[in-house]
Amino acid sequence: MSRWTAVMYSETQNENGTYNTRCLYCFMTVATAVETKEDLELIEAHHVCPERALSELLAAKAATEAHAHRN
């Protein structure tokens, strides 16, 4: 889970020590000026990504169609 999060978000740190995070799937800024890494991970975990949901839907559809072709 933590590995997946690391891949999915681009985290940057501000001069005052707070963090920003941006989703690499939909390029939405998920949070800005978050004070701790713990809060950052919590916010990332709650991001419902429209792009990721779409890609998972397409992957599931492709898998279903591939299965249908085999039968």
Q: What is the token pair recorded at 64?
A: 């279903």
Helix segments in the chain, DSSP class H: 2-8, 37-45, 50-70
Binding mask 7-26 for Zn ion (x = CB under 5 A): ----------------x-xx
* 5 counts as binding Zn ion under rule CB under 5 A: no
**5 within 8 A of 37, measured Cβ to Cβ:** no
* 31 counts as binding Zn ion under rule CB under 5 A: no
Q: Which is nearer to Zn ion, 27 or 69 (CB)?
A: 27
Tell me which residues touch Zn ion (CB under 5 A). Answer: 23, 25-26, 49
